[in-house]
């Protein structure tokens, strides 16, 4: 029997909140902790047979437990995000075949998105929720001239080829375990799970998200998230599906 697990990451330090809140995944958002919004979406989708909740410390673990979906395993997080994911993967039972990895600082995921991701991963083995970049993005390079002066240069990137990664990111268990084993063996520093899989040269499908799914990063984000939750109240909606990047 093939089973699916969802790793819910909640151990981040929230340093960019600059002390505005004690714990960003526990701060109230529309009457519920930020963490509870992600947990509820996963439970409503019914895609996961097991949840691995990655916590920071004992106090946080106790508070998260009150909102944890069931059945859950709680795992203490590591120093970096990639350490937390590695420890969560190590805690999975042998019969898990697919793994969702979700940053619970993104509370606006929708159950229908989770269902769509689950369908795609069984076919493609790797899929990420993402949105198209709409801003003009420039690469900034600072070069040292022969006279020792800084030579600052900009290069405009083709935004038609650029996507902003979100979570959940979903993989076959064998693929993501192999990817993180390589990250650890080579001492690589990565910023998301897809980057680990990229090291293997494996293709990654994209599910285009046409709804806001911002990450709670700074105190200013709270008001925006509150507005979005209150405005939308998670209505069902159709989504544009892109199983492959358009490049």
Query: 171-187: per-residue pLDDT in tens?
Result: 999 999 999 999 999 99
Query: 74-123: per-residue pLDDT in tens?
Result: 999 999 999 999 999 999 999 999 999 999 999 999 999 999 999 999 99
Is it the case that residue 238 has pLDDT exceeding 70? no
Query: Rounded CA gap, 53 and 78, in Å?
Result: 13
> E strands within the chain?
3-9, 28-29, 32-33, 50-55, 72-76, 96-103, 126-132, 138-144, 150-156, 163-172, 205-208
Report the phi/psi class of residue 14: left, alpha or beta, with left for phi > 0 and alpha for psi in -120 to 50.
left
The residue ranges of every structural domain in the chain are: 3-132+160-232
* pLDDT reported for residue 1: 67
- Rounded to a whole number of angstroms, the distance between the first and last alpha carbons of the chain is 36
Residues 119/112, Cβ–Cβ less than 8 Å:
no
Query: Rounded CA gap, 74 and 111, in Å?
Result: 22
Query: Rounded CA gap, 39 and 41, in Å?
Result: 6
DSSP 188: -
Give the mean pLDDT of 186-210.
97
Query: 38-50: per-residue pLDDT in tens?
Result: 999 999 999 999 9
What is the signed CA dihedral for 79, 85, 87, 89, rounded to 10 degrees? -170
> pTM (2 decimals)?
0.89
Burial class (CB in 10 A: 0-12, 13-18, 19+), 122: middle
> Quick one: CATH architecture of 3-132+160-232?
Alpha-Beta Complex (3.90)
């Amino acid at each position: 029997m093939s089973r699916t697990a969802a790793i819910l990451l909640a151990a981040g330090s929230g340093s960019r909140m600059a002390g505005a809140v004690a714990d960003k995944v526990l701060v109230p958002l529309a009457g519920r902790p930020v963490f509870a919004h992600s947990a509820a979406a996963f439970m409503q989708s019914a895609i996961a047979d097991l949840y691995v909740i990655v916590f920071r410390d004992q106090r946080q673990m106790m508070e998260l437990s009150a909102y944890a979906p069931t059945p859950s395993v709680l795992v203490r997080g590591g120093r970096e995000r990639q350490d937390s994911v590695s420890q969560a993967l190590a805690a999975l039972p042998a019969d898990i075949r697919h793994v969702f990895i979700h940053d619970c600082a993104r509370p606006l995921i929708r159950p229908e998105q989770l269902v769509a991701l689950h369908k795609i991963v069984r076919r493609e083995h790797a899929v990420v929720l993402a949105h198209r970049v709409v801003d003009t993005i420039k690469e900034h390079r600072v070069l040292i001239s022969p006279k020792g002066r800084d030579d600052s240069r900009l290069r405009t990137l083709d935004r038609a080829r650029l996507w902003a990664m979100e979570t959940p990111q979903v993989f076959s268990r064998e693929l993501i375990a192999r990817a993180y084993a390589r990250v650890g063996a080579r001492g690589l520093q990565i910023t998301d799970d897809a980057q680990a899989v990229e090291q293997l040269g494996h293709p990654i499908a994209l599910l285009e998200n046409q709804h806001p799914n911002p990450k709670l990063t700074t105190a200013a984000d709270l008001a925006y998230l509150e507005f979005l939750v209150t405005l939308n109240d998670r209505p069902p909606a159709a989504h544009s599906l892109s199983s492959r990047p358009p490049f």
